Amino acid sequence: MIGPGSGSLTAAVAYHLARRAHWRGLEIAFWAITLLTIFLLPGKHLILTEIAILGLFALSLDLLIGYAGVLSLGHAAYFGFGAYAAGLFAKHGIIGEPFFALLAAGLATAALGFATSFLVLRGSDLTRLMVTLGVSLVLREIANRYDGLTGGADGLQGITVAPLFGRFAFDISGHVAYVYSLAVLFILFLVARRIIYSPFGLSLRAVKGNPLRAAAIGIGVNWRLVWIYTIAAAYAGIAGALLTQTAQFCSLDVLSFDRSADLLVVLILGGTGYLYGGLIGAILFKLAQDWIAGITPQYWQFWIGLTLVVIVLVGSERMAGLLGPIRKLVQKA
Amino acid sequence: MPFALETVGATVHFGGIYAVNEVSLRVEKGARHALIGPNGAGKTTLINLLTGVLQPSAGKILLEGNDITGLAPHRRVGLGLTRTFQINQLFGDLTPLETIGLAVSERMGSGGDWWRVAGSRPSVDKQIVEILERFHLADVMLERTATLPYGKQRLLEIAVAIACRPQVLLLDEPAAGVPEDERHEILASVAALPKDVTVLFIEHDMDLVFSFADRISVMVNGALFTEGTPDEVANDARVKAVYLGEDVVDE
């Protein structure tokens, strides 16, 4: 059967395997608009920084849920660990320069993610939910208990973050913080994109789809999951470290269950498995929070709760139907 | 010369129920070895044992004379032991192209590459093309697997296993549920395998068994009942009574 057609078939195979990795118009537009916010919305840089950090955190969870099919109810464990790591680095002058401190916090969190992945990846979905939740609760109590190191319930006080690269001091209106957070988000997005569209990324989708078959074609399922869990932990840790550095403060709140739960809401709003879900979800979540809190400060959670109930009742299928065309545009345009 | 695949007293029991009971099966290199027996005889359980999906309660499994009893399923694939499933186990959201691509790149050691765009290794692409053409899957290679007609899915099920380039191939009812007119495509693909590839297959279709197998093992109630050439098994009165007889009663 290897006839004259197989040359073009080889080309087609190479093209279509790589096709997902091609940049689409909407993606470029998304990042162009994001870049423009630096210049066009200087008064909104504080909330935009929060959005960028939440987006990065959500991207981290999307790598787990959307690509590897690993559910987590305690992803704040890694966010919080990175946040405290960055806080301690700055407070004790261990690593003064923020960018290197950020990398170090990411590496430290990756190590934690690697170590805990072996606990988490045992068992089924429900087991994983409980173990991830457990890990985050344990970490929060450790932070609470060792208040000599972490400041306990009072939070980690007295953090002064040195100027970025020794040149750009963090200003009160958050311009440097926003550009910094956005740059980190964009770089890590590019790295995630690269990983997702690699053979490794493809194998994650196989593991998510059918672990039995994945093993039957020679994929070492457990190790693939260990690595993506480690990478996701590093991303979450860097997001947490960004929060500490830009807010110059860190409290137990970074490890709270609410933070893990909010993150799931973000991903429900934005969708999973197409890389932009976490970012779009973060924008929707923060804007809704800001908007509703402006109208009824006390009842903001009521409205988020109601929205969630509606989304679930309308059904994720139908939501997917609603968002499907948009997603197709993002993927194919 | 060691056997391609051998079990020594392999046993699996779930509580008091012995699904596989002290089975010592020997499959010669290059054999077309059929495993038959009534439903519930433990044939699929034995395949799960051979591939590492289940761990034996007792006994050993040898591949080319090497003990693989404790090896993880994916490591066995690396050693050349591959299987297909009785009920399709495919990646519904992936395309046949991606599915075969996964198997080929895993075999060629680049399945874990994380800093390279998929499709960018010509040696892998070439082998993917070879499999797609051999199994006539090129025209549907971009469809979602879940939307393919059953016959095509069944073909993909076998194509993926062969993309792993097995030394020993375990086929669990390869033609099950496939319409008559699509059957020959699947059988032809199996028949076209190189002679030195060992095939152990489970099948209920006796015409198929007797036309294809050069060796037949009969399992009944978790144990190996008898073994022989197709002629020997066909003329074995006990097999007729126990296996074929039961089959007649079943229907």
Give the torsion through C-alpha atoms of B181, B182, B183, B189, to 10 deg: 140
Measured between beta carbons, which residues in chain A are less than 8 angstroms from residue B90?
210, 213
Q: How far apart are CA B36 and CA B157, in angstroms?
A: 21
The Cα B146–Cα A210 span in angstroms is 12
Assess if residue A158 is contained within a domain.
Answer: yes
> Angle A182-A187-A189 (CA atoms, 0-180°, nearest 5)?
90
Q: 10 Å Cβ neighbour count for B194?
A: 8
Q: What angle do CA A236, A140, A257 make, to 5 degrees?
A: 65
Maximum C-alpha span of chain A: 74
Residue A323 has pLDDT above 70, yes or no: no
Q: How far apart are CA B244 and CA B65, in angstroms?
A: 34
Q: What pLDDT score was predicted for residue A296?
A: 79
What is the spatial distance between Cα A40 and Cα A138, in angstroms, rounded to a whole number?
Answer: 43
Mean pLDDT over A105-129 rounds to 92
Q: List the single residue in B with minimal CA-CA distance to A215.
A: B74
Does some domain include residue A329?
no
Tell me whether residues B118 and A216 touch, CB distance under 8 A: no
| Per-residue pLDDT tens digits for A63-93 | 999 999 999 999 999 999 999 999 999 988 8
pLDDT tens figures, A161-204: 888 898 898 888 889 999 999 999 999 999 999 999 999 999 99
Helix axes A125-145, A76-91, angle to 10 degrees: 30
Q: Which of B103, B155, B154 is nearest to B133 (CA)?
A: B155
DSSP A170: P
* Distance of alpha carbon B15 from alpha carbon A199, whole angstroms: 41
Query: Where is average pLDDT lowest: A51-65, A215-229, A301-315?
Result: A301-315
Give the domain range for residue A274.
23-283
Contact of A98 with A245, CB cutoff 8 Å: yes
- For A209, the closest chain B residue by CA position comes to B91
Cβ distance A17 to B90 less than 8 Å, yes or no, reads: no
Tell whether the torsion through CA atoms of A101, A104, A110 and A116 is positive or negative. Answer: negative
Measure Cα distances from A263 to A183, A316, B107, B210 in Å: 21, 17, 38, 59
Q: Which residues pair with B42 in a beta bridge?
A: none
The interface predicted TM-score of the complex, written ipTM, equals 0.92
Tell me whether residues B126 and A10 touch, CB distance under 8 A. Answer: yes
Radius of gyration over every alpha carbon of chain B, rounded to an integer in angstroms: 19
Question: Does A94 map to a domain?
Answer: yes
DSSP string of A99-166, one letter each residue: HHHHHHHHHHHHHHHHHHHHHHTSS-HHHHHHHHHHHHHHHHHHHHH-HHHH-GGG-B----PPPBTT
Per-residue confidence (pLDDT) for residue B208, from 0 to 100: 87
- State the Cα–Cα distance between residues A332 and A67, nearest whole angstrom: 19
Nearest-by-Cβ selection for A199 from B94, B116, B160: B116
Percentage of the residues of chain A whose pLDDT score is greater than 90 = 67
Closest CA to A20 of A279, A204, A224: A204
Instruction: Decide if A99 is inside a domain.
Output: yes
Which structure tokens are listed for B168? 């020993």
Tell whether the model's pLDDT for residue A333 goes beyond 50.
Answer: no
What residues pair up with A169 in beta bridges, in sequence order? none
Min Cα separation B80/chain A (Å): 10
What is the reported pTM?
0.91
Half-sphere exposure of A219 (CA within 13 A, CB side): 35
What is the average pLDDT value for chain A, to the nearest integer? 89
Quick one: which of A149, A88, A80 has its CA closest to A116?
Answer: A80
A308 falls within a domain: no
pLDDT-flagged residues of chain B (< 70): 243-251
B contacts of A20 (beta carbons < 8 Å) = 118
How many residues belong to chain B? 251
B192 at the A interface (CB within 8 A)?
A: no
Report the alpha-carbon distance of residue A29 to residue A19 in Å, rounded: 19
Determine the 3-state secondary structure of A168 from DSSP: strand
Structural domain includes residue A62: yes
SS3 A250: strand
Contact flag B74-A210 (C-beta cutoff 8 Å):
no
Taking an 8 Å cut-off on Cβ atoms, the answer to whether A199 and B51 are in contact is no
Specify whether the CB–CB gap between A248 and A201 falls below 8 A: no
Answer whether A65's CB lies under 8 Å from A71's CB. Answer: yes
Flag if A199 and B91 touch (Cβ within 8 Å). no
Q: How far apart are CA A146 and CA A44, in angstroms?
A: 36
The pLDDT score that the predictor gives to residue A143 is 94
Give the confidence band of A292 by pLDDT, cuts at 50, 70, 90. confident
CATH top class, domain B5-250: alpha beta
User: How many residue pairs bridge chain A and chain B with CB atoms within 8 Å of each other?
Assistant: 154
Residue A297 lies in a domain: no
Query: In the prediction, which pLDDT does B243 show?
Result: 65
Q: Which run of H or E residues covers position B165?
A: none
In a domain, A18, yes or no: no
Taking 60 as the threshold, does the pLDDT of residue A59 lie above it? Answer: yes
Q: Is B160 on the interface with A (CB under 8 A)?
A: yes
Assigned token pair, A33: 């608009």
Lookup: tokens for A258: 């609410």
CA nearest neighbour of B105 among A250, A206, A107? A206
Q: Model confidence at A147, in pLDDT bands (50, 70, 90)?
A: confident
Specify the CATH number for the domain of residue A189. 1.10.3470
* Inter-chain residue contact B101 with A1, CB threshold 8 Å: no
Report the alpha-carbon distance of residue A244 to residue A27 in Å, rounded.
29
Q: Which residues on B lie below 8 Å from A214 (Cβ)?
A: 74, 91, 102
User: How many structural domains comprise chain A?
Assistant: 1
